[in-house]
């Protein structure tokens, strides 16, 4: 099989790493890829938003399967454009990608399908939004409806913060058109988890559960980021929570999407709050998570590629994936200053030595190659993953690896998995 992965981050490196191990693979391309994927595949200098370029490439290279990493090309119609050329794509149509592209759409699907989620209302008028804030009270959550680069959500602890958020999004238009409509919802309280499923329009195959670490600082402090690290399995999500998630959230969503004539294919990412009475949907994403992908794929024992193909053919019911009974931890190394302004171009040393450590895999997220060396070239630069018999072992290994990487301009959180390890011990 000839496969094209779209994207350039740690998630795409992890996908390339898993797919390149498949005996079914004959040729692997990554557009645009990074120095990590270059070691496993042919990098193609096409941007992820160049839909026509990607489709033309896939046609010219007789690609059998396209695996998009990020959501933007899916929202822009990559899967539809590939379908028009009879090329399989493990990702949803633009219509189905609204599950990530529009918060309001997701809430409507959730209500129609009876999915447990926070009570909500959508607004296009700032006055009405301010009134609703007063009616519900704080804490309360304010969301720009459209894609706002992960920055469109304000969890407001006070009424003042909530009103400020409404003003910033609707009146000052800090997120542009993405904030023309807002969703205001009840604040959920509990532990957050990310649950992943591979979907074929009708059936869903569980792909694992992870806990992300979104804030930049130790102890969950500071601004939100794309994700500073992840662990799996989260001790606060046992089998009963996973079963409830598949039965009350993932499968009902698939059913509702199919009923609306927009069957969902590809990776479905449910961001959930585990409350006392079970999991509640926070949001869907139409892709694998990053760094959750780098955390879960090292636990997979089965060949991923046939499952991806089955997802595009409506054949997932015949697929059964096997997983290691182990734990996994990923520490993301970032450029100092991230998620604010940061410098790039600093050289990173020690990657080869670290990559050879047992149960350790270093995924490139924002790097570039330069005369045989590897330079930092982004905010999130490396995703250092390790597996182990339990979370403690995985986390210890991941930090041992991190500490062998020499990079003057880099930093990472030092507490990835710490709360999870405490919680796991408390449960023993
Ligand atoms: P989202 O962009 O929808 O992932 O939201 C970003 C973050 O805001 C989530 O990861 C949660 O931590 C938080 N969040 C969103 N909605 C809620 C909610 N209803 N209750 C509590 N926290 C929320
Ligand atoms: N790590 C969260 C995300 O991929 O959106």
Percent of the chain whose predicted confidence (pLDDT) is above 90 = 91
Q: Ligand 1 within 6 A of 118 CB?
A: yes
Bond before 339 cis per omega within 30 degrees: yes
- Tell me the pLDDT tens digit for each residue of 297-343: 999 999 999 999 999 999 999 999 999 999 999 999 999 999 999 99
Residue 248: the pLDDT is 98
pTM: 0.95
Bond before 291 cis per omega within 30 degrees: yes
* The pLDDT of residue 13 is above 70: yes
Return the best residue to mutate from 283, 287, 292, 339 for the ligand 1 pocket (most ligand atoms within 8 A of CB).
283
Which residue, by CA, sits nearest to atom 12 of ligand 1? 192
Residue 38: the pLDDT is 98
* The pLDDT of residue 109 is above 80: yes
Return the best residue to mutate from 69, 194, 288 for the ligand 2 pocket (most ligand atoms within 8 A of CB).
194
Return the best residue to mutate from 212, 331, 339, 416 for the ligand 2 pocket (most ligand atoms within 8 A of CB).
212
- Tell me the pLDDT tens digit for each residue of 150-162: 678 899 999 999 9
Give the chain's domains with CATH numbers. 2-89 (3.40.50.20), 125-180 (3.30.1490.20), 191-318 (3.30.470.20), 327-426 (3.90.600.10)
Tokens 């959550």 found at: 141
17-45 b/e with 16+ CB inside 10 Å = b?
A: bbbbebeebeebbbbbbbbbbebbbebbe
Ligand nearest to the CA of 271: 1
Within 13 Å of residue 296, how many CA atoms lie on the same side as its CB? Answer: 26
Helices (H) and strands (E) in the chain, counts: 16, 23
Per-position DSSP letters for 81-92, written without gaps between them? HHHTTT-EESS-
Residue 123: the pLDDT is 94
User: Is residue 300 within 8 Å of residue 356, measured between CB atoms?
Assistant: no
CA of 282 to the centre of ligand 1 (A): 6
Which residue, by CA, sits nearest to atom 3 of ligand 1? 283
Residue 175: the pLDDT is 83
User: Is residue 117 within 8 Å of residue 101, measured between CB atoms?
Assistant: no
Q: Ligand 2: residues whose CB is within 6 Å?
A: 212, 227, 285, 289-290, 292
Q: Ligand 1 within 6 A of 275 CB?
A: no
131-144 b/e with 16+ CB inside 10 Å = b?
A: ebbeebebbbbbbb
Residue 142's closest CA among 111, 171, 112?
Answer: 171
- Tell me the pLDDT tens digit for each residue of 372-385: 899 999 999 999 99
Which residue, by CA, sits nearest to atom 9 of ligand 1? 282
Distance from C-alpha of 3 to C-alpha of 28, rounded to nearest angstrom: 5
Ligand nearest to the CA of 157: 1
């Amino acid at each position: 099989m000839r496969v094209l992965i779209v994207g350039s981050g740690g998630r795409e490196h992890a996908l390339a790493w898993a797919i390149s191990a498949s005996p079914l693979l004959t040729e692997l391309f990554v557009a645009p890829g990074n120095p990590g994927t270059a070691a496993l595949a042919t990098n193609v200098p096409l941007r992820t938003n160049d839909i026509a370029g990607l489709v033309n490439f896939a046609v010219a290279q007789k690609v059998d399967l396209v695996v998009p990493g990020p959501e933007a090309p899916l929202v822009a119609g990559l899967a539809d454009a590939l379908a028009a050329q009879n090329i399989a794509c493990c990702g949803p149509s633009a219509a189905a990608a609204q599950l990530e592209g529009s918060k309001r759409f997701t809430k409507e699907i959730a209500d129609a399908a009876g999915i447990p989620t926070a009570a909500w209302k959508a607004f296009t008028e700032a006055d009405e939004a301010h009134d609703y804030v007063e009616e519900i009270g704080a804490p309360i959550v304010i969301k720009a409806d459209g894609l706002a680069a992960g920055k469109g959500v304000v969890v407001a602890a006070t009424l003042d913060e909530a009103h400020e958020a409404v003003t910033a999004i609707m009146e000052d238009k800090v997120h542009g058109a993405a904030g023309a409509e807002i969703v205001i919802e009840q604040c959920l309280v509990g532990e957050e988890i990310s649950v992943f499923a591979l979907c074929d329009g009708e059936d869903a195959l569980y792909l694992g559960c992870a806990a992300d670490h979104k804030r930049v600082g130790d102890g969950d402090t500071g601004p939100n980021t794309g994700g500073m690290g992840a662990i799996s399995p989260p001790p606060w999500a046992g089998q009963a929570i996973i079963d409830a998630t598949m039965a009350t959230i993932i499968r009902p969503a698939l059913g509702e999407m199919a009923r609306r004539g927009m069957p969902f294919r590809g990776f479905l990412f449910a961001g959930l709050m585990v409350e006392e009475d079970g999991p509640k949907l926070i949001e869907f994403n139409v892709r694998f998570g990053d760094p959750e992908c780098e955390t879960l794929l090292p636990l997979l024992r089965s060949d991923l590629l046939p499952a991806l193909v089955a997802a595009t053919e409506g054949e997932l019911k015949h697929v059964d994936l096997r997983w290691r009974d182990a734990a996994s931890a990923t520490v993301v190394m970032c450029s100092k200053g991230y998620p604010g302004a940061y410098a790039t171009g600093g050289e990173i040393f020690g990657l080869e030595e670290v990559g050879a450590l047992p149960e350790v895999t270093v995924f490139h997220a924002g790097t570039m190659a330069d005369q045989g060396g590897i330079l930092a070239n982004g905010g999130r630069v490396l995703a250092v993953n390790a597996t182990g018999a339990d979370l403690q072992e995985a986390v210890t290994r991941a930090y041992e690896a991190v500490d062998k990487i020499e990079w003057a301009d880099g930093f990472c959180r030092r507490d990835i998995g710490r709360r999870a390890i405490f919680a796991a011990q408390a449960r023993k």
